[in-house]
Amino acid sequence: MMETPLTQNIRDRQAPPDITAYTQSGGYRAVRATLGKVAPRDVISAVTESKLRGRGGAGFPTGVKWSLVPDPDAVPPPRYLVVNADEMEPGTFKDRLLLEGDPHQMIEAVIVAAYAIQADSAFIFLRGEYHLAERRLQQAITEATAHGYLGTNILGSGYNLSVQVHTSGGRYICGEETALLTALEGKRAVPRAKPPFPQLSGLWGRPTVVNNVETLCNIPHIINNGAAWFMDLGRGGDAGTKLYGASGHVRNPGAWELPMGTPLREILEEHAGGMQPGYELRAVLPGGASTSFLMADTLDVPMNFGAVEKLGSRLGTGAVIVMDQRTCPVGMVRNLEHFFAQESCGWCTPCRDGLPWIERLLAGLEDGDGESDDLAILEEHVGLLGPGRTFCAHAPGAMAPLASGLRYFRADFERHIHDKRCPWR
């Protein structure tokens, strides 16, 4: 029987468990077993041993990130834990499922993670449109405080922790961890130069760890069941389970908790139900809008970090966006580049000026005004806005669907220019 620790308490169209139900199902056991009983560094060691990697897109080892926070004796408090719940990657909705469906799991994870890095304040930086998640998180915080899991001298351990929910102003760039911290400080959401990294100088210049919602929700289960158990959940090299999603013209769009490394074909055919009648799968974006296209002949790829990278894309958030044969690839790429252009923070010139130019060129192709040298200009921009050319990863992420679109759908781009119209209109 497949284990689904992250979603075991989530029921479709039902209210999440309150603190009584959550505790009866084993909730807050990791808190009771850890605070004042296990050294913080031992918690970090357990997470490192589990080989948990970040679920927000980058896949950085979580325990390694925590271990970079200096010892409290070397750098005294305050220090902070920040939850990145600003889920604005197009096609991605996994964190919303966890926040709305089991908010106490999130709070328990925050407590254990904050204890591990010895933070006395934690912030959940929440996407502004997630109103239901905000209400349920606030209720969970109230209940946890009333039962002694938050506040001063938690469970008599001598450890203190406050948790606050901060709703975002609503910009995609806030998902970049340093821009998130700048926004949390009340400033314009602009990424920071690294180094220094947040673990040394983050929120208000203090040691800070920023982790994704899904990443942190694994923590209580690792503490309760052990690193070996967690590693055995995955298929292949990557440990644990993963929330995979699928959208597009599939029969059953949604999100499912599956073993890390589940083949893409299984996700789409068994869980998403295959394509709707009359539609054929042509390509997918395997991990949200800022990943490169994979074609229909790659569906047997295991959905883990290494295997997807070998095909020239990224696992990203694990949110699969399906493109069918009735969808214009030029129009789809234009739609994505429109999003990235309007969400640029405007800090660096290549991103601020290059993305709108790309969008205008793609709009011209769609409207029948494309010219023969447009594709060369687009390809040039792929390089000019690529990794190492901009202040953060926003523009390089935007180039992933464009570069792969030009590679795999070249004939469709050329047809727009030759026919002076979009063939799908």
d(CA 214, CA 35): 22
In terms of Cα–Cα distance, which of 93, 90, 49 is closest to 67?
49
Inter-residue contact 65 to 219 (CB < 8 Å) = no
CA atoms within 13 A of residue 33's CA, in its CB half-sphere: 17
In terms of Cα–Cα distance, which of 200, 238, 180, 229 is closest to 52?
238
Contacts (Cβ under 8 Å, ≥6 apart) of 5: 218, 221, 225, 233, 241
pTM exceeding the 0.85 threshold for the entire prediction: yes
Give the Cα-Cα-Cα angle 187, 177, 359 (nearest 5 degrees). Answer: 85
Angle between helices 410-419 and 349-366 in degrees, nearest 10: 60
What is the pLDDT, as a whole number, of residue 207? 97
d(CA 151, CA 107): 13
- DSSP per position, 234-279: SSSSS-SEEEEEEESSBSS-EEEEEETT-BHHHIIIIIS-SBPTT-
Q: How far is CA 276 from the centre of its chain?
A: 27
Q: Is 118 helix (H, G, I), strand (E, B) or coil?
A: coil
Print pLDDT tens along the chain (425 aa): 469 999 999 998 899 999 999 999 999 999 999 999 999 999 999 999 999 999 988 889 999 999 999 999 899 899 999 999 999 888 899 999 999 999 999 999 999 999 999 999 999 999 999 999 999 999 999 999 999 999 999 999 999 999 999 998 888 999 899 999 999 999 999 999 889 999 999 999 999 999 999 999 999 999 999 999 999 999 978 999 999 999 999 999 999 999 999 999 999 999 999 999 999 999 999 999 999 999 999 999 999 999 999 999 999 999 999 999 999 999 999 999 999 999 999 889 999 999 999 999 999 999 999 998 999 999 999 999 999 889 999 999 999 999 999 999 999 999 999 999 999 88
Quick check: bond before 356 cis, omega within 30? no
What is the pLDDT, as a whole number, of residue 315? 95
Q: Length of the chain in residues, anyone?
A: 425
The type of residue at 74 is A
Burial string for 269-296 (b: 16+ CB within 10 Å, else e) reads bebbeebeeebebbbbbbbbbbbbbbbe
Inter-residue contact 343 to 171 (CB < 8 Å) = yes
Burial of 322 (0-12, 13-18, 19+ CB in 10 A): buried
Inter-residue contact 61 to 250 (CB < 8 Å) = no
In the chain the domains, ranked by start, together with CATH numbers, are 19-232 (3.40.50.11540), 242-324 (3.10.20.600), 329-419 (1.20.1440.230)
Contacts (Cβ under 8 Å, ≥6 apart) of 224: 26, 29, 30, 33
Inter-residue contact 40 to 116 (CB < 8 Å) = yes
In terms of Cα–Cα distance, which of 305, 298, 301 is closest to 60?
305
